[in-house]
Amino acid sequence: MHYTRELERNGRDIKDERREFITGRSQAPYVSPRTEVIASRSFVHPLPDGRDAYYAPDTDVPLSDAFLDTHCMRVVEGPDGTVGLLVKPIEGRGLSDIEGTMWLDAVTAQLQSIEYSYVNLPARMRNPGDIGGEVVFSGLPNGTWIVREWRVRTPLMAFIGRGVQLRRIGYHDERGVVWRAIDRTDTALLEAGTGTVTGTLIDSAGQPPRGGVLVRTMGRSC
């Protein structure tokens, strides 16, 4: 399941949202550029139309020589039986990059997830905001490791005034979740769980809404 959202400048109000289910056969549902490309060109690449492409780490990036050679790590204690590795670019690395925390299982040392933010962005980008994301990993019974879930928040930028500097006018959110993975024999290797959402519905004034209310979850009315 893949969705994209465009948010207002406050990062909460949704301007547009699109969802789609994607099916097909591939070695991995989510992959980054080659680690050598990221090491030399960074996690943020300029596009010909003036925009920027933001990349997130996949299962290969954190353990690659190119990533380890360009980042420093420090061990921290995490919650719920996890160990964290704080990750930062090495001093003097001027390329746009990521920093954050790699979370590992304290017993098996298996990588569970990466929480990250983008740093060292071009100076022309004024106040890009709180941007970054999370990548969640999962091991399959056949020994394969995949990205099970990912989310990326990047800034929506526009030239303001005389067009010298880019300022943030909103956010672009993108997320994907692997709902089902099968092998070549059509045996299910991974099935997404389902959940229940509970809460209280209020309007912008903090009061219960009047009249009929339509709530949409996962594209379905309830």
Confidence (pLDDT) at 53: 85
Q: What is the pTM of this model?
A: 0.76
AA letter at 8: E
Select from 111, 151, 135, 127 the least CA-distant residue to 57: 135
Q: How confident is the model at residue 59 (pLDDT cuts 50, 70, 90)?
A: confident
Residue predicted with more confidence, 31 or 157: 157
Domain interval for residue 80: 2-221
CA distance readout (Å), 153 to 4, 19, 27, 133, 177: 10, 16, 25, 6, 15
Number of domains in the chain: 1
pLDDT > 50? residue 222 = no
pLDDT digits (tens, 9 = 90+) for 117-139: 999 988 777 788 999 999 998 88
Q: What is the mean pLDDT of residues 163-191?
A: 84
Residue of 214, 212, 176 whose CA lies nearest to 192: 176
What amino acid is encoded at 122 in this protein?
A: P
